[in-house]
Structure 1
């Protein structure tokens, strides 16, 4: 197999957010807040914890994403596997304090060359999720 056939792509989004890392961390790790900006879940910020993200985009259609927490460094790094529809990827959140608040970096890595539709869907989807995250941060303490 050639190198080109084994290379994967990543969706990376970076945003400066005018909130401290601790506040963003809560929104990334507390199930009731995750549900507000991402999906229903049974998340727990404990390494090796297996959880699902679930939503019903249309009546009778369920989306279930199987995940496992890979790394947790409170207020700094959160990483989990993301498996659905033949996509096996890893989502990593990195929080870096900056004078204006936090530099939030989200990377979803592991899109194979034949997963162009999933890659483009994730790029659009994460932008929407992060807009929703902004709204959650704006109204929570």
Structure 2
């Protein structure tokens, strides 16, 4: 069987990431590697304790944690074919199908944070490469996606860079949500070019977009928020919150009156955010 490309689907507020990999080992050997804590510790993103039965408790611990930082429950344990469990609010389902002398391993990760999908996919990509190394008897030595190239490739593949436009009670709004690949302080420094913005002062160029007027800064809280008026009835807001991966989650909104050109704003801001993401990846 030929593994299918990684896919992302969203329905009813939940998103499912599906990844398939051909593993050159029989199902039982793959099963052991994805269920036995000693083997999981070699390639999985956390240490795991597991009661390997439906309803069994799972614990997920990270270096330095004396107790599991998160818990879950086994939902399926059909040896050597299906292992599934919850991890916080997420659900992970591993399916192993015999494929000649090897196996087809399928992961379906279901979660609520659609814009975290590129972080999850790049992380699992690295982990599953490590799993293959372990099964091949090699040293598990997989470089993390520290530069963000894999993350950004998944952003493009899953079409996560596109913004939305909607009607509000007061007019129209354009909104972008984007996971970034550098710490918030690095992102802020890139946008301000070293000149700290203050209320009432001109907006640093990094926070502006082509054909979007920029009034003075109306609110600033480094490195979490910058806002300015672009129209008597409209505002631009850059907000940086908790993210997945190595950086903050950017939420950028532009609000305006009912004749606000949202199509033009969508194009301008997507170009601006893509340029920022490219510079962060290269830094």
Q: Map Cα deviations across residues 115-137 of structure 1 (whole Å, 9 max, x no partner).
A: 23432211111111101111111
Contact 1:17 1:100 in 2 (8 A): no
Aligned-pair distance for 1:5?
8.0
CA distance in 2, matches of 1:106, 1:63: 23
Structure 2: runs of 5 or more not aligned: 1-9, 139-283
Corresponding position: 1:7 with 2:5:
no
Higher strand share: 1
- Specify which of 80, 87, 94 is matched with residue 85 of structure 2: 80
Q: Please give the root-mean-square deviation of Cα atoms over the aligned residues, in Å.
A: 2.3
Q: Map Cα deviations across residues 28-75 of structure 1 (whole Å, 9 max, x no partner).
A: 11110011111212123111111211223xx78x98332110111001
* 1:48 partner SS: coil
* 1:42 partner SS: strand
Corresponding position: 1:116 with 2:121:
no
Count of matched residue positions in the alignment of Structure 1 and Structure 2: 127
CA distance in 1, matches of 2:13, 2:83: 24
Q: TM-score, normalised by structure 2?
A: 0.42
Contact 1:34 1:40 in 2 (8 A): yes
Q: Residue in 2 aligned with 1:28?
A: 34
Mapping of residues 46-57 of structure 1, within 5 Å = 46-56=53-63
**Structure 1 residues 63, 123: closer, same or farther in 2, change over 3 A?**
farther
Tell which has more relative contact order, 1 or 2 (C-alpha 8 A, sep 6+).
1
Contact 1:37 1:130 in 2 (8 A): yes
**Structure 1 residues 138, 44: closer, same or farther in 2, change over 3 A?**
farther
